[in-house]
């Protein structure tokens, strides 16, 4: 039998920018680092942020990966494909599915 489980929401704190690149399409791609409390132990996590400098559209995935190489590789893929912020979530799902 299946039942619902309620999971406490985990927030990423102490967010800082690890890497920022301004693409030729006027979109800033950032890799961020932050701390996530997982079972009362602090864990470093890496996020992705995109911001369109023309219209101010901004999208963030604060806890994309716990591996810096995955976060930087995904940011490079966003830059190469010149993706806009509203396309980031679909690409992230594709990237994480293929990485498993």
Q: pLDDT digit string (tens) for 8-17?
A: 667 888 889 9
- The torsion angles phi and psi of 99, rounded to 5 degrees, stand at -80, -15
Q: How far apart are CA 73 and CA 61, in angstroms?
A: 15
Q: Residue 48: phi, psi to the nearest 5?
A: -125, 140
Give the pLDDT score at 22. Answer: 93
Per-residue pLDDT tens digits for 56-67: 999 999 989 999
pLDDT tens per residue, range 35-90: 988 677 888 999 999 999 999 999 999 989 999 999 999 999 999 999 999 999 99
Please state the domain extents for the chain.
Answer: 12-99
Residues paired with 42 in a beta bridge: 37
- DSSP codes of every residue in 37-54: EETTEEEEEEEEEEEETT
Map residue 73 onto helix, strand or coil: helix
Average pLDDT, the chain: 88
Rounded to two decimals, what is the model's pTM?
Answer: 0.82
């Amino acid at each position: 039998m299946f039942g619902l489980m309620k999971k406490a929401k985990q927030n990423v704190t102490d967010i800082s920018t690890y890497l920022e690149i301004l693409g030729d399409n006027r979109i800033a791609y950032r890799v961020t680092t932050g701390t996530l409390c997982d079972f009362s132990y602090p864990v470093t996590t890496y996020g992705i942020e995109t911001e369109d400098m023309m219209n101010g559209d901004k999208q963030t995935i604060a806890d994309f990966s716990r591996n810096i190489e995955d976060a930087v590789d995904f940011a490079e893929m966003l830059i190469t494909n010149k993706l806009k912020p509203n396309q980031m979530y679909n690409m992230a799902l594709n990237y994480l599915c293929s990485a498993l």
